[in-house]
Structure 1
Amino acid sequence: MPAEISGPRSGSSKFSIDISFPTVGAQVGPLRADAARNRVKVLAAAAELFSERGVANVTMDDVASTAGVGKGTLYRRFGDKSGLATALLDHLESELQDGILNGPPPLGGGASPMERLIAFTTAYLEFLRDSLDIVLLSQTSTTGARFRTGSHAFWRRHCEYLLEQCAAPAPGIAADVLLAGMTAEQVQHWLVDQGMEFDALVESLSQVTRSLAT
């Protein structure tokens, strides 16, 4: 998982898009300079520690110590480890959103809807592979947690839009089915519990994506 974080970002400040495509990481107003610096340090420390040890083996105290910030600052800003993981995901997911909105084809514009849908499936699986532990914590922290995130709303609307362009039947339901097959828990089961090769999983889910789009 990438651990380099260059600065604070939010979905609302990074992108200028229609509101039907909600982005992750939205926040009201800019951070103070010291708060922004602390946020960068905390997210970089969390990315490094989660990647090295796994989320379950990292405490908030570990993150505060590595980032060089007070524990009170950490808890006030992020609440708990689930909140910290969500904030880190906001940062990481914004890069995938950027590829969808502004990047080259086939993930970005300039490709057919089917090509873009397959590219999204591949890119999202790569994102999960590189940050599976964090995504798993975020999606399973409470019942139905994944449905309440801005990122899920973005992925769903993107998939639904492309499925509509493919003239797929029930595009909203088809988008839900596709994303349900790419939850962190499901992907972990295939890759870890069943020992499935990543490339084979990408190919299989790409075939499922094609079937949903036709």
Structure 2
Amino acid sequence: MPDDELLKIGATPPRERADAARNREKILQAAAKLFEKHGVTRVSMDQVAVEARVGKGTVFRRFGDKSGLAVALLDDRERELQQAILSGPPPLGPDAPADVRLIAFVEAYAAFLDANVDLIHVSETASPGARYRIGSYQLWHRHVTILLAKARPDLDADYLAHAILAPLSADLHKALDYPSERAASGAVALTKLVLTGATSGP
């Protein structure tokens, strides 16, 4: 089953020692509090360490840099969407036609992006090509590829999945600063064009 493949990409991380898990949770709670109060770009890793009452080295060893911290903070929020895709009710869940599920996913991810754009932006722009290396993008891309291949087996689903996800990048969202409704409707319109468009000239 294709959704089994998604389960492997979005697998739950291995268990940690109790003290390590407590430190991780303290750091994430401190980061979330500071990011919400001051904005992601105005908060340093040193400030997170002070707020969490842990050593600066602990923060850097656990998360590497602010992009790693952003990815970790996003993890729980992303898992809610992942679970809706894998086992939730239609239209996001498995019991809906592939084209309907694809449009529902684009709508859901557009809303997720709008709600978490600063964190996603940090995680996606830490280095050139960072967006395409993070596990969440790989999962979203594979999900779109699977649905598109089912709905339109005549298309290059792997390539066009990138095209569908392209307008849902945090960098573009912030640069264009469109109202959330316009960004979502545009992404859905593009997806519908891919689903219904011709594959050759007249």
What is the TM-score normalised by the length of structure 2? 0.87
| C-alpha distance in structure 1 between counterparts of 2:53 and 2:8, whole Å | 33
Alpha-carbon contact 1:21-1:153 (below 8 Å) kept: no
| C-alpha distance in structure 1 between counterparts of 2:42 and 2:108, whole Å | 27
Alpha-carbon contact 1:22-1:154 (below 8 Å) kept: no
| C-alpha distance in structure 2 between counterparts of 1:21 and 1:188, whole Å | 30
1:146-165 map, 5 Å: 146-165=131-150
| C-alpha distance in structure 1 between counterparts of 2:131 and 2:179, whole Å | 25
1:126-163 Cα shifts (integer Å, max 9, x gaps) = 11111111111111111111111111111111001110
| C-alpha distance in structure 2 between counterparts of 1:54 and 1:47, whole Å | 10
1:45-104 Cα shifts (integer Å, max 9, x gaps) = 212222222211001122122223222221221122122112222232222111111211
Deviation at 1:22, TM superposition (A): 4.4
| C-alpha distance in structure 1 between counterparts of 2:11 and 2:51, whole Å | 23
| C-alpha distance in structure 2 between counterparts of 1:59 and 1:201, whole Å | 30
Equivalent pairs counted in the alignment come to 193
Give 3-state SS (helix, strand or coil) of 2:9's partner: coil
The residue number in structure 2 matching 1:145 is: 130
Aligned residues: CA RMSD: 1.8
The residue number in structure 2 matching 1:6 is: none
Give 3-state SS (helix, strand or coil) of 1:18's partner: helix
| C-alpha distance in structure 1 between counterparts of 2:130 and 2:98, whole Å | 29
| C-alpha distance in structure 2 between counterparts of 1:104 and 1:96, whole Å | 12
1:200 is matched with which residue: 182, 192, 196? Answer: 182
Counterparts in 2 of 1:24 and 1:64: CA distance versus 1, 3 Å: farther
Alpha-carbon contact 1:118-1:209 (below 8 Å) kept: yes
Specify which structure has the higher proportion of helix.
2
| C-alpha distance in structure 2 between counterparts of 1:25 and 1:102, whole Å | 14
Alpha-carbon contact 1:21-1:157 (below 8 Å) kept: no
Is 1:175 matched with 2:175?
no
Is 1:126 matched with 2:111?
yes
2:16 is matched with which residue: 5, 28, 31? Answer: 31
What is the TM-score normalised by the length of structure 1? 0.83
| C-alpha distance in structure 1 between counterparts of 2:48 and 2:11, whole Å | 20
Alpha-carbon contact 1:121-1:205 (below 8 Å) kept: yes
The residue number in structure 1 matching 2:101 is: 116
The residue number in structure 1 matching 2:44 is: 59
1:172-203 Cα shifts (integer Å, max 9, x gaps) = 1110101112111111223x2xxx22112212
Higher Cα Rg, which structure: 2
The residue number in structure 2 matching 1:12 is: none
Structure 2 spans left out of the alignment, 5+ residues: 197-202
The residue number in structure 2 matching 1:87 is: 72
| C-alpha distance in structure 1 between counterparts of 2:61 and 2:71, whole Å | 15
